[in-house]
């Protein structure tokens, strides 16, 4: 009884100490790798916007306001009612971009998680078991990489019928190849290390070795790759929506807003400014964050 | 005589060399070729040889960290070489390995406590509380402070890490410890500490050691018997004293003459081997050493020498005897 109490108090003081230490460490990391800070803030604002979209948006994103269209039927530019102008059927551009953030992040993050799951699983299996398993998985991976990716996604979305869910499923299910390769490489490196050999000598099962010894040591590149993947997937969703096979109107997505504005951008350039800027912000944010994380977690890899 | 703990019979480990798109096997690297020896309970056997001679591979193959190509590993009347994975797990408790590099032998993600409890977790031994106690005990035995459990491996020096590595190997109370160059990566002063620790532990826990090293002075100090390997084959095996006093094989003589002498005025014949270690994928015919042997004869190029007893308890594979 007594000893256990002593032990718990010991543990808690230790935790407090490490808590303090880790907070200092966070600041130090952010100071040394400003890209993490900048990218992280950019991503964080996006998350806030997505979560609080109904509070930030000034209009309903899919309502067509008669006041948004001029007498001759042209969209109105930025004014006191529509701060970033209205689109060709009178919807508020600002509110649509705000709500589009939700779509972009949803697709970007969920697609990346799917890719991550498939990629890590296949990569670990391939790297750990080697031999013919590795051979088969790597050839499939090569095949996936050989296809023009956008074309592949378009084909799959077309089969699945376009919707937010189907878009991220399609992107996620097809986008795991790079992840698999990276994870496989890391596993190949880690599995020869002596602590893995030692676990084997102790009689640990493959399951235990993979989950307890190997996976914790391949997390870093997975986090980096995952972050970069989110940025890529946001771009990809925009591309699909731009081509008209992604998110379907009236749901707002940066891609279909750009598509809307494409025909009239010479007379109504505000239609593409804000969605274009949002897209730039999102991809830049995730890329900076990913690059920063890579510099921090894996200093051996140059750019 | 003393009781045999482990018998290795005609152990072979060949690594296939694969080439081409279809990965056809075009040859083999004979890392361990026909190695046989007996380890008696409580003794220390030193395995020496230059790098690439298969001494580490022998150790790892005995533990089945590498699957043996052929041969028998007999422990307690059971042939470990042919056991299924689940049955082998029981025997894994009884033989453990300590690795050379203390920096890669501990998983950097875990605290020492976790690392040392893991072996017991794997074998489902003891309750949580007992495990913690065991860990503290074993750390103390290995000359570490029990407070180490809350620290990560990177917080320790090489020598301390090696102690932790030894502690991990001992958590399951093994009979046989395979020490794969346990001191090669350490400073000389730390080396002696670790060697002393190993000797103390051997007495205390009744351990049997298979000590793999290329450092002859270390091996001489700790071993009861020594096995000399070259290109995956056994060249000579004998009691330590006898081997150092009167090495029979020309290769052993060359090895021994390479030990630095403490006294600079002492003159000693230095046998320098010519040429490089031949490729183990394409070893020379006959005696594999004939390309570098100072006393090679015609027969050495043709016939592989037998493993024979030249003197009492002193075995050698050489045509000179």
Spatial CA neighbour of A156 closest among A254, A90, A245:
A245
Average pLDDT estimate for B239-252: 85
State pTM to two decimals.
0.78
Q: What is the pLDDT of residue A9?
A: 42
| Residue B240 and residue B47 in contact, taking contact as beta carbons nearer than 8 Å | no
**Residues above pLDDT 70, as percent of chain A:** 91
* Model confidence pLDDT, tens digit, residues A196-239: 888 888 888 888 889 888 888 888 888 888 988 999 999 998 99
Q: What is the pLDDT of residue A287?
A: 92
pLDDT at A46 over 50: yes
- At residue A19, the pLDDT reads 54
Confidence at residue A180, expressed as pLDDT on a 0 to 100 scale: 93
Q: Once rounded to an integer, what is the mean pLDDT over residues B260-277?
A: 75
- Please give the backbone phi and psi of residue A141, each rounded to the nearest 5 degrees, phi first: -60, -45
Beta strands in chain B (DSSP E): 4-19, 24-40, 44-48, 70-75, 78-79, 95-98, 176-180, 208-212, 225-230, 233-239, 308-311, 314-316
Per-residue pLDDT, A286: 92
A239-259: average pLDDT: 87
Mean pLDDT, residues B301-319: 83
A1 has pLDDT over 70: no
Q: Mean of the pLDDT values across residues B182-197?
A: 86
Q: pLDDT per residue over B51-108, tens digit each?
A: 878 888 888 888 888 888 888 888 888 888 888 878 888 888 888 888 888 888 888 8
Residue of A nearest to B96 (CA): A201
B contact test, residue of A201, A218, A220 with most B CBs within 10 A: A201
From B204, B142, B178, B197, select the one nearest B46 (Cα to Cα): B178
Mean pLDDT lowest among B131-145, B197-211, B293-307: B293-307
Q: With a cut of 70, say whether residue A168 has pLDDT above it.
A: yes
Report how far residue A149's alpha carbon sits from residue A156's, in angstroms, rounded to the nearest whole number.
11
> What's the average model confidence in pLDDT over A187-201?
88
Strand partners, B39: B6
Q: Which of these, B3, B41, B39, lies nearest to B202 by C-alpha position? A: B41
Mean pLDDT of B229-237: 86
The answer to whether residue B12 scores a pLDDT higher than 90 is: no
For the segment B286-302, the average pLDDT, to the nearest whole number, is: 82
Q: How far is CA B275 from the centre of its chain?
A: 26
Cβ-defined contact of A14 to B150 (cutoff 8 Å): yes
Q: Complex ipTM, two decimals?
A: 0.79
Residue B245 has what pLDDT?
84
Q: Nearest-CA neighbor of A217 among A236, A247, A190? A: A190
Q: Is the Cβ pair B122, A195 closer than 8 Å? A: no
How would you classify the pairing of strands B4-19 and B24-40?
A: antiparallel
Mutate to test the interface with B, among A15, A133, A136, A203 (most CBs of B within 10 A): A203
Domain B4-94+209-316: give its CATH superfamily.
P-loop containing nucleotide triphosphate hydrolases (3.40.50.300)
Is residue A10's pLDDT more than 60?
Answer: no
Query: Which pLDDT does position B191 carry in this prediction?
Result: 87
pLDDT average, residue stretch A283-296:
89
Residue ranges per domain, chain B? 4-94+209-316
| pLDDT band at residue A268 using 50, 70 and 90 as cut-offs | confident
Average pLDDT of chain B to the nearest whole number? 84
Considering CB atoms only, which of A195, A204, A205 is closest to B106? A195
Counting beta carbons within 10 angstroms of the beta carbon of residue B188, is it exposed (0 to 12), middle (13 to 18) or buried (19 or more)?
exposed
Across residues B155-172, what is the average pLDDT? 87
Tens-place pLDDT, residues A85-126: 888 888 888 989 999 899 889 999 999 999 999 999 999 999
3-state helix, strand, coil in chain A (%, to 5): 75, 0, 25
Closest CA to A250 of A240, A260, A235: A260
Write down the pLDDT at residue B126: 83
Residue numbers in B near A133 (CB within 8 A): none
Pairing label, strands B308-311, B24-40: unpaired
State the smallest CA–CA distance between residue A154 and chain B in angstroms: 34
Residue B186: its pLDDT value, please? 83
B100 neighbourhood in chain A, CB within 8 Å? 194
pLDDT band at residue A3 under the 50/70/90 scheme: very low
Structure-model confidence comparison of residues B57 and A297, the more confident one: B57
Q: Which of A174-188, A276-290, B128-142 has the lowest mean pLDDT?
A: B128-142
What does the pLDDT read at residue A136? Answer: 93
Domains in chain A: boundaries: 34-74+81-297
Contacts of B236 (CB under 8 A, 6+ apart): B226, B227, B228, B243, B247, B248, B249, B251, B252, B314, B315, B316, B317, B318
The pLDDT of residue A246 is above 90: no
**Per-residue model confidence (pLDDT) at position A20:** 58
Residues in chain B: 321
Instruction: Give the closest-approach CA distance of A80 to chain B in angstroms.
Output: 56
- Quick one: pLDDT at residue A7? 44
Give the closest of A14, A200, A205 to B65, CB-based.
A200
Residue A281's pLDDT band, with cuts at 50, 70 and 90, is very high
Q: What is the dihedral of CA B73, B78, B79, B85, to 10 degrees?
A: -110
Q: Which of B89, B96, B109 shows the shortest C-beta gap to A216? A: B109
Question: Shortest CB distance from B109 goes to which of A14, A198, A217?
Answer: A217
The mean pLDDT value of chain A amounts to 84
Residues A144-148, mean pLDDT to the nearest whole number? 89
Which of these, A297, A254, A236, A37, lies nearest to A45 by C-alpha position? A37
CATH number belonging to the domain at A34-74+81-297, selected among 3.50.30.30, 3.20.20.20, 1.10.3720.10, 1.10.10.10: 1.10.3720.10
- Across the interface, whether the CB atoms of B63 and A201 are under 8 A apart is answered yes
Select from A198, A213, A217 the Cβ nearest to the Cβ of B99. A198
Mean pLDDT of A260-270: 84
């Amino acid at each position: 009884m007594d000893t256990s109490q002593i032990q718990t108090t010991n543990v808690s003081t230790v935790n407090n100490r490490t808590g303090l230490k880790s907070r200092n460490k966070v600041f130090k990391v952010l100071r040394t790798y400003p890209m993490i800070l900048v990218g992280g803030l950019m991503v964080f604002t996006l998350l806030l916007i997505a979560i609080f979209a109904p509070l930030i948006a000034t209009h309903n994103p899919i309502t067509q306001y008669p006041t948004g269209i001029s007498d001759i039927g042209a969209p109105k530019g930025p004014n006191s009612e529509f701060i970033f102008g209205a689109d060709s059927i009178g919807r508020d551009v600002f509110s649509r971009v705000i709500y589009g953030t939700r779509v972009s992040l949803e697709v970007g993050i969920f697609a990346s998680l799917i890719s991550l799951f498939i990629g890590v699983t296949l990569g670990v299996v391939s790297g750990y078991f080697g031999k013919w398993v590795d051979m088969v998985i790597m050839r499939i991976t090569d095949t996936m990489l050989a296809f023009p990716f956008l074309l592949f996604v378009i084909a799959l979305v077309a089969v699945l019928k376009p919707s937010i869910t189907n878009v991220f499923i399609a992107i996620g299910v097809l986008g795991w190849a790079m992840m698999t390769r990276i994870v496989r490489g890391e596993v190949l490196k880690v599995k020869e290390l002596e602590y893995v050999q030692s676990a084997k000598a102790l009689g640990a099962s493959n399951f235990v070795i993979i989950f307890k010894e190997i996976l914790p040591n391949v997390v870093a590149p997975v986090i980096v790759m995952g972050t970069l993947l989110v940025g890529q997937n946001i771009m990809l969703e925009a591309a699909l929506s731009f081509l008209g096979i992604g998110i379907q109107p009236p749901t707002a997505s940066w891609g279909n807003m750009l598509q809307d504005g494409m025909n009239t951008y010479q007379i109504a350039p505000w239609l593409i400014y804000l969605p274009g800027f949002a897209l730039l912000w999102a991809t830049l944010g995730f890329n900076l964050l990913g690059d920063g994380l890579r510099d921090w977690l894996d200093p051996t890899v140059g750019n | 005589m003393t009781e045999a703990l482990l018998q290795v019979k005609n152990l072979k480990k060949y690594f296939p060399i694969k080439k081409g798109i279809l990965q056809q096997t075009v040859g083999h690297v004979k890392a361990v070729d026909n190695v046989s020896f007996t380890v008696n309970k409580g003794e220390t056997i030193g395995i020496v040889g230059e790098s690439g001679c298969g001494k580490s591979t022998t150790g790892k193959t005995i533990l089945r960290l590498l699957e043996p190509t052929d041969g028998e590993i007999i422990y307690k009347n059971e042939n470990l070489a042919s056991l299924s994975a689940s049955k082998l797990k029981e025997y894994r408790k009884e033989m453990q390995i300590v690795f050379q590099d203390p920096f890669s032998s501990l998983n950097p993600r875990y605290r020492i406590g976790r690392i040392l409890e893991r072996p017991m977790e794997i074998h489902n031994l003891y309750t949580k509380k007992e495990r913690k106690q065991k860990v503290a005990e074993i750390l103390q035995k290995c000359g570490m402070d029990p407070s180490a459990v809350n620290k990560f491996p990177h917080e320790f020096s090489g020598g301390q890490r090696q102690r932790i590595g030894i502690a991990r190997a001992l958590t399951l109370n093994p009979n046989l410890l395979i020490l794969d160059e346990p001191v090669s990566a350490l400073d000389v002063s730390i080396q002696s500490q670790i060697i002393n620790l190993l000797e103390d532990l051997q007495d205390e826990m009744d351990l049997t050691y298979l000590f793999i090293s290329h450092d002859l002075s270390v091996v001489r100090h700790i071993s009861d018997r020594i096995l000399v390997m070259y290109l995956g084959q056994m060249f000579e095996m004998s009691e330590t004293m006898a081997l150092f006093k009167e090495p029979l094989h020309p290769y052993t003589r060359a090895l021994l003459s390479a030990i630095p002498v403490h006294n600079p005025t002492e003159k000693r014949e230095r046998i320098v081997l010519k040429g490089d270690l031949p490729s183990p994928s394409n070893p020379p015919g006959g005696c594999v050493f004939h390309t570098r042997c100072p006393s090679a004869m015609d027969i050495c190029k043709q016939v592989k020498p037998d493993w024979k007893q030249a003197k009492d308890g002193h075995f050698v594979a050489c045509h000179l005897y």
